Amino acid sequence: METLKGKAVYKGIALGKISVLRKTENVVKRIKIENVDTELQRVEAAKAQAIEQLGKLYEKAVKEVGEASAAIFEVHQMMLEDLDFNEAIENTIRTQEVNAEYAVASTGDSFSEMFASMDDDYMKARAVDIKDISERLIQNLTGNGDNGLDFTEPVIVVADDLTPSETVQMDKEKILAFVTVHGSTNSHTAILARMMNIPALIGVEMNLEDIQTGTEAVVDGFSGEFILCPEEEVKAKARKKLDEEYEKRSLLLELKGKENITISGKKIELYANIGSAADVGYVLENDAGGIGLFRSEFLYIGRNELPGEEEQFQAYKQAAQNMAGKKVIIRTLDIGADKQADYLNLGKEENPALGYRAIRICLTQTDIFKTQLRAIFRASNYGQIAIMYPMITSVEEVKKIQEIVQEVKKELRDCEIPYKDVEEGIMIETPAAVMISDELAELVDFFSIGTNDLTQYTLAIDRQNEKLDAFYSPHHKAILKMIQMVVDNAHKAGKWAGICGELGADTALTETFVRMGVDELSVAPSMILKLRKIVREME
């Protein structure tokens, strides 16, 4: 028996045989070519073939995992048409006079590394998407085609990492769990695991060459353990946990459509955090009351130019329409010098967490801010949208925002473009905002507490620094007292206050938050029903 440790991205238990996915690497050689136009035509043909393949994958995914999850293949089709990506391939072929395979591989590696180096976990996970489309193009150029991923029995899938194309080709009825060497909490493996309610471990240090397909194993998504060749006692415990989990899951599904209300009648809103319009399906599937945090920065990162007003409008409009009247709270641009967006001219900073980021960019480069606000207000006509502004530290900042908002509204009126007056709130992420929350509450419609940044700023601990994990305590009394202060000041002004940081999904604090008077918790979609259960069982 051998026990390996990893990071659990979805809790649960699996017991069964493993299937090791060993990928055949496309060996790409750099070849000097004579006819540039021929290579460019080969790229175009491979791209057309890839778009057709992705269309078929999209149709298959819609039937198996739903439209929201299938949307990634539409995104991949769009990425294949991306101007920057295609220009980079063409420039490589023309300037270096190299074969199409090499140009695609080097461009894919370059773009993938750019995403992987970003600080934002969601954007970092998009490196896999770039890798996926590049490999697809190379397969088409070399004539290797797609590799089948058929399983004859239910298995635990073990791999270095999994791309969206690989996961959608698998028979979902025959997957017990995922275990990967790489990946992140926002990877497609993790998203699929959460959607399918199966355990998944990432970051497991293992040599795939030493692990054999057919080996029996246990995946424990609670302890983060991957146990190979388990002893009978371990298997018996796993079977018992499986029975308990099945019973719990059945009970949770009965909570769909129920209110988030305590036994004594106290109600709390349970909303979901999302990274793009494509994630709305998870929100609806898990019966969330709305979207409490729509991260708009996904539209800005990993490109060479600002997203236009129309592109942003379509993304916000899609989310609003798909939510069918449920609230969608869009956070305005929250990007900093630690995320690569050269066109914003952010420059290198020694301490980006305390630097030129979020609302500071918007209030300095107001043209960027106005473009986003116009897109949001235009989209407000298609659903129930609200706006929240990140990294607020002063009353003056809020007043400046309000002036800009009025200018945008006037522009829309002058152009006879319809919009609705929406709720406008701010994120409470700094100790400064906490201490003046009584004054801020008079100026805005709501507060949303970003506990991740609030914790690191209060404790003076970089939350990205693994060496400080032992000192990083989101349950610190100072943090809880600050949350209480913010909630109290909001209520005194007749406003509501929610939490959209990671702490909102901490089930150990759910009862505490309800008793504090927190009005809304915005969490990962998969946590909605779990929190609802806790709330409904509270006195």
Known catalytic residues? 188, 500
Side-chain half-sphere of 503: how many Cα atoms within 13 Å? 26
Residue 174 identity? K
Residue with tokens 């990071």: 7
Q: How far is CA 400 from the centre of its chain?
A: 30
For residue 23, count CB atoms less than 10 angstroms from its CB and return exposed for 0-12, middle for 13-18, buried for 19 or more.
Answer: middle
Residues 80 and 140: their CA atoms lie apart, in Å, by: 13
Residues 86 and 82: their CA atoms lie apart, in Å, by: 6
Paired tokens of 97: 């006079």
End-to-end CA distance of the chain: 45
Paired tokens of 213: 């397909």
Residues 498 and 183: their CA atoms lie apart, in Å, by: 30
Residue 53 identity? Q
Residues 42 and 26: their CA atoms lie apart, in Å, by: 17
Residues 479 and 472: their CA atoms lie apart, in Å, by: 11
Residue 121 Rama label (left phi>0; alpha psi -120 to 50; beta): alpha
Decide if 381 contacts 420 (C-beta within 8 A): yes
Decide if 324 contacts 383 (C-beta within 8 A): yes
Q: At what angle do helices 127-142 and 100-116 cross, to 10 degrees?
A: 170
Decide if 183 contacts 6 (C-beta within 8 A): no
Paired tokens of 126: 């998009």
